[in-house]
Amino acid sequence: MTDLSETFPLELEIEPLSLTDGLIALLNLQAQIDGLEGRHTCAEAATLIDLLILRGLILGRISDYERAAQLADRQVGAATADAAAYMARARTRAVFHRFAEALDDLDSADRMSPHDTAAKRERAAIMQAQGRFDEALSTYYAVIDGVGQFERAAALVGLWAERGEADTAQRFYLDSLRSYRGISPFPVALLDFQLGVMWMRHARLAEARTCFEAAIARVPAYAAAQGHLAEVEADLGNPEAALGRLYPLAVSSDDPDYAAQLARILGQMGRNDESSVWRRGAADRYDELTTAHPEAFADHAAEFWLGPGNDPKKGLRFATLNLEARKTPRARDLLTQALNANTAGATSARCSGAALPN
């Protein structure tokens, strides 16, 4: 198990968790999905949707999210009075940052099943994603008594991390680990990742690296953790290690983020020909994705166009769209960065490479 003692004070040390190996967990996630394919009770469909979202999250497969969204639309059409169908669709809509529509679905689920707290927990998660932190927190606390200690603490890790309150997020993270009684590595790896992202945003790269390494130790195939670790490694002066992580991801994933990272790091290393190949691929894919799912990819597209994509106007457009969907501190920072990059005569420090032809 990855040693977290360097990141966290010793008095907060936790016992190693006994978790299913990441390879087995992934094989069994695949087995769950395969076992539910072609079966269509409402509960099975909702489970399949959740599993597809999880696989999409772990492997960085946008196609899984898209398939989950299709299934959820179909499920609502087939079971218009089933709260679980609306809940499942709300989750897929939230994945694609269609928050208003997701909240509409939760309203429907609430009307059909007013005593079910699951819809309220989903609502809190969406409020959090929208940057409505105070409302999210009060919603969480209104329904949190009915869930287990792990679920309670885990829900609050992300909220406090998004809010930038590192100490509180870390405390809930450790509470989560202490109270975890499951054996699936996925919930814990997702928390490791959330905390790593938080440390990245605080520019505490060593702590971020420890968290991403912990996530990867639990689930080696966790694409986003590998990708973020690569970013940290590059920033810590080890671009070759970063490239080694990113090449397989850029090939296997349909998320352009890894190709964009490759383009950025190769550009910084002066390997411009290689960089431009990955840059072109990422640009094409971001164009596809922002056409199909504009809200979902607005933030990453903005970062790409303000960085290796080198199209500040496009970057500003997507940063603006992103802030319309979610009023988080990060979205505001991104818009500020985009506005700066579009100031007359300014050249963003992150922009690199020649402009791509339109």
Residue 79 falls in which region: left (phi positive, over 0), alpha (psi -120 to 50) or beta: beta
- 48-77: contacts with another protein (CB under 8 A): 67, 74
- Among 38-46, 202-210, 222-230, 244-252, the segment contacting another protein (CB under 8 A): 38-46
Interface residue with another protein among 2, 12, 14, 33 (CB under 8 A) is: 33
Rounded to whole angstroms, how far apart are CA atoms 177 and 167?
15
Instruction: Give the nearest distance from C-beta 340 to another protein in angstroms.
Output: 44
Closer residue to another protein in complex, CB, 51/302? 51
Question: Does residue 182 interact with another protein by CB under 8 A?
Answer: yes
Distance of CA 185 to the CA centre of its chain: 17
Give burial (CB, 10 Å; 0-12/13-18/19+) of 271. middle
How many residues sit in the footprint of another protein (CB under 8 A)? 32
Q: Can you give the C-alpha Rg of the chain in angstroms?
A: 20
Piece of 98-106, 180-188, 277-285, 337-345 that binds another protein (CB under 8 A): 180-188
| Contact residue for another protein among 38, 237, 270, 357 (CB under 8 A) | 38
What size, in residues, is the chain? Answer: 358
Determine which residue in the list 5, 13, 40, 313 makes contact with another protein, applying CB under 8 A: 40
What distance in Å separates the CA atoms of residue 8 and residue 26, rounded to the nearest whole number? 29
- Within 10 angstroms of residue 53's Cβ, the number of other Cβ atoms is 21
Task: Please check whether residue 73 is in contact with residue 86, taking contact to mean a CB–CB distance below 8 angstroms.
Answer: no
At closest approach, how far in Å is the CB of 100 from another protein? Answer: 29
Q: Which is nearer to another protein, 33 or 277 (CB)?
A: 33
Q: Which is nearer to another protein, 72 or 259 (CB)?
A: 72
Nearer to another protein, 50 or 287 (CB): 50
In contact, 96 and 65? CB cutoff 8 Å: yes
**Residue 353 sits in the site that holds another protein (CB under 8 A):** no
Token pair recorded at residue 254: 């349909």
The yes or no reply on residue 346 touching another protein (CB under 8 A) is no
Q: Choose one: 19-27, 94-102, 305-313, 335-343; the region binding another protein (CB under 8 A).
A: 19-27
Burial of 86 (0-12, 13-18, 19+ CB in 10 A): buried
> Contact at 8 Å (CB) between 130 and 99?
yes
Binding region for another protein (CB under 8 A): 15, 18-21, 23-24, 27-28, 30-41, 47, 67, 74, 115, 148, 181-184, 186-187
